[in-house]
């Protein structure tokens, strides 16, 4: 099942700020009565997919990210493999959806892409044990680009500023509920050139482990997002680029890159 969040392309101005959730079925979107992590029902209202504008399919209370979760990526940046998951947060204000622009900040000279598989939490979970079925807490999966100001990350040591700029967390194009996250292909292309390619089976800490581990530090709420780490091949983005993150079985998240705002 593919779940999206959208607005009508030709909606009156009064409706423009009223996103809806829906099911993508073929070339149509079926509106549902509320967020997919709550009780919802199908409506009788259907729209053509071509007539809607897809938004980021999540509105999380937090975005929990895992760094250096692929050995080759840790190596390419000269880092050791973490002895425990390396966790950091991105602010919800950094989220954009498909086709929205990643805006390069004037404070950085080196902004890079990091394509990832993201987990969307479906129910509240806290202090999960090793025997709990962690993936039962996951409603679905989507693509995420953990955009990073690499020069600021290196100078600051901690990651908040480098990864927290507005537009630095593109998510979408929708949530796929029917996916086994253990061995899917994650790729990033820039202007049609493949930059990153890796199977999730190469993760140091797999998806289920991450859900359990994070739940012991902080309560995960419905709609929260876990970014599971990026494969090797991270590289720079420049104004005028188009960056695409794809996850096999989910889809392609596409964003243009714009110059810093004046």
DSSP string, 3-37: EEEEEETT--GGGTT--EEEEEETTEEEEESS-TT
CA 162 to chain centre: 17
Task: Kindly report the CATH number that applies to the domain delimited by 2-54.
Answer: 2.30.30
The C-alpha torsion from 209 through 68 and 223 to 105, rounded to 10°, is: 170
Predicted confidence (pLDDT) at residue 14 exceeds the cutoff of 60: no
The mean pLDDT value for 48-71 works out to: 96
CA 260 to CA 55: how far, in whole Å?
A: 22
**Mean pLDDT in residue range 72-78:** 87
63-258 has which CATH code? 3.90.850.10
Using the predicted structure, report yes or no on whether residue 189 has a pLDDT greater than 70: yes
Confidence grade of residue 261 (pLDDT, cut at 50, 70, 90): confident
* Sheet strands side by side (includes 251-258): 102-103, 251-258, 242-247, 185-190, 193-199
Share of the chain above pLDDT 90, in %: 90
What residue segments make up the domains of the chain, in order of their start? Answer: 2-54, 63-258
Alpha helices in 165-256 (DSSP H): 207-215
Residue 77: per-residue pLDDT: 83
Cis status of the peptide bond prior to 130, with omega within 30 of 0: no
Residue 262 has pLDDT above 60, yes or no: yes
pLDDT at position 13 is 53
Backbone angles phi, psi at 87, to 5 degrees: -110, 140
Beta pairing, strands 102-103 & 251-258 = parallel
Mean pLDDT calculated for residue range 42-46: 94
Mean pLDDT to the nearest integer, 210-225: 98
Q: What are phi and psi of 19, to 5 degrees?
A: -65, 150
pLDDT of 177 strictly over 70 = yes
The dihedral through the CA atoms of 248, 253, 254, 255 has a sign that is: negative
Q: What is the pTM of this model?
A: 0.95
Specify the pLDDT at position 10. 80
């Amino acid at each position: 099942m593919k779940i999206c969040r959208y607005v009508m392309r030709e909606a009156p101005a009064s409706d423009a700020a009223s996103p809806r959730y829906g099911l993508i079925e073929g070339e149509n979107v079926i509106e549902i009565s509320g967020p997919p992590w709550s009780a919802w029902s199908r409506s009788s209202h259907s729209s053509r997919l071509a007539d809607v504008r897809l938004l980021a399919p999540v509105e999380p209370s937090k975005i929990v990210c895992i760094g250096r979760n692929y050995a080759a990526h840790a190596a390419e940046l000269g880092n050791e493999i973490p002895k425990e998951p390396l966790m950091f947060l991105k602010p919800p204000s950094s989220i954009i959806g498909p086709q929205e622009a990643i805006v390069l900040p004037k404070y950085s000279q080196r902004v890079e892409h990091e394509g990832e598989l993201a987990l969307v939490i479906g129910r509240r979970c806290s202090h999960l044990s090793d025997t709990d079925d962690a993936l039962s807490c996951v409603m679905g999966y989507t693509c995420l680009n953990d955009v990073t100001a690499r020069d600021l990350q290196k100078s600051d040591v901690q990651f908040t500023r480098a990864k927290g700029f507005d537009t630095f967390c593109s998510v979408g194009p929708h949530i796929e509920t029917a996916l086994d996250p253990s061995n899917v292909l994650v790729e990033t292309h820039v202007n049609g050139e493949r930059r990153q390619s890796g199977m999730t089976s190469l993760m140091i800490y797999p998806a289920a482990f991450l859900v359990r581990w994070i739940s012991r530090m902080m309560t995960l709420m419905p709609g929260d997002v876990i970014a599971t780490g990026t494969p090797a091949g991270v590289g720079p983005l420049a104004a005028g680029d188009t960056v695409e993150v794809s996850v096999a079985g989910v889809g392609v998240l596409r964003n243009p890159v714009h110059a810093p705002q004046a």
